[in-house]
Amino acid sequence: MTFFKTLFFLILQLGFSSVQAHAFIEQQQPKAGEELNSPPKAIILTYNKNIEPAFSTIQIINEASQTVIETSKAKGVEGESNKLIMPLPKLIHGEYRVKWVALSRDGHRTMGDYTFTIQ
């Protein structure tokens, strides 16, 4: 969590702009607010623009605010440069927050977060 906060403030200081949103999320899997009956095998985020996976992160945080998955695990999807995927271990029931930071190929950074629940 400390690492993420540090990263977050570093990005702010580097001039991250939430006003100019460049890589918008078009689709997220699981969906925001979705209540799943079984644990998802991966997080898949689809953007309206091509993404640089090496400079993009996905972080999953559980109800106790502990990071479940480290950010370095997000990968690009071959042949689909507008997608980020992060394979997941088997998650137990509960609410999870997905926090993402994406660098689009035009060099602009965007970020967002949402939650889903495993029943």
Tell me if 44 sits within 8 A of 74, measured CB to CB. no
Shortest Å distance, C-beta 114 to Cu ion = 21
Q: Smallest gap, in angstroms, from Cβ of residue 8 to Cu ion?
A: 20
Contact between 21 and Cu ion per CB under 5 A: no
Number of residues counted as binding Cu ion (CB under 5 A): 3
The torsion of the CA quartet 21, 17, 57, 32, rounded to 10 degrees, works out to -50
Q: How far is the CB of 47 from Cu ion (least distance, A)?
A: 11
- Residue 68 token pair: 């479940």
Residues contacting 6, CB < 8 A, separation 6+: none
Nearest-5° Cα angle at 32, 27 to 33: 155
Considering only residues 7, 22, 40, 53, which one is a binding residue for Cu ion as defined by CB under 5 A? 22
Residue nearest to Cu ion (CB): 22
111: contact with Cu ion by CB under 5 A = no
Query: Which residues lie near Cu ion (CB under 5 A)?
Result: 22, 106, 108
